[in-house]
Amino acid sequence: MSENPNHHIKAKIYGNNHLCCKNLGITGKKFYHMIYAFVLYSLPYITWLLILIHERSNIKINFPIIISSILYFFQIYSEMMGGLSDPGILPRQRKDFYYHTNRQSLKYVINGHLCTLNYCYTCSLFRPPKTSQGSLCDNCVERFDHHCLWLGTCIGQRNYKYFYFLTASLNLSSVFQIGYSISHIVLNAKKFKNNENYNKIILWGLVAVSLYDFLFLIFSLVNFLYYIHI
């Protein structure tokens, strides 16, 4: 039986996280950022889709629409699952839990490696290895990676795969739209030289979508290098 990513959610969540959908989902402090992300990756898809529909007489429309639609709906699925899944929040203990030990850390040998478990005074627990306190959500998260501003929640052990799928599908969609737009412009270069307003709208629409996707790819690359650096 597969593990339900939300089965760890408790009836009460501390910190800045919020339960939603009758306790079936959990969001971060700024959950409305998911709406911003949805609008940002929907704009180029809708614009590009309208262009393809207008150009249906000149291209094999089924292929680009099917590919782009699959990637788009995969983006929606990944965003919803990543933004509403428990990232790996550890339940808080009583304030006096372990406090009587008067120790800030414990040392354990795990699989032959000496590990130091630091005490979290906010959650009143010793953090397992690779667990960190999310500064914005104010909860200890297992295998904490970072706080995603687009999903508005922490990225950790239980929702990292959805964040990865979302990032991968967004980049694949951008590369596909840029590549297909450029090839369509090159193949129809003579047509776009005409003075028809319709052709100009299609041309500048493809250029705008390509530029939008290109800037997104640059932004993704900069963020990737930033996280690798830190």
pLDDT at 146 over 80: yes
Catalytic residue among 123, 137, 148, 154: 148
Beta carbons of 141 and 153 less than 8 angstroms apart: no
pLDDT at 153 over 80: yes
Each residue of 50-103: pLDDT tens digit?
888 877 655 556 788 888 899 999 999 999 999 999 898 888 877 665 555 566
For the entire predicted model, the pTM comes to 0.79
- What span, in angstroms and rounded, lies between the C-alpha atoms of 128 and 199? 60
Per DSSP, the three-state class of 73 is helix
Question: N- to C-terminal Cα distance for the chain?
Answer: 37
- What span, in angstroms and rounded, lies between the C-alpha atoms of 131 and 127? 6
**Residue 20 designated active-site:** no
Q: Token match 């914005």: residue?
A: 136
More reliable by pLDDT, 230 or 56? 56
Q: Token match 């100009």: residue?
A: 200
**What is the mean predicted confidence (pLDDT) over 14-24?**
79
Cβ contacts of 43 within 8 Å, gap of 6 or more? 212
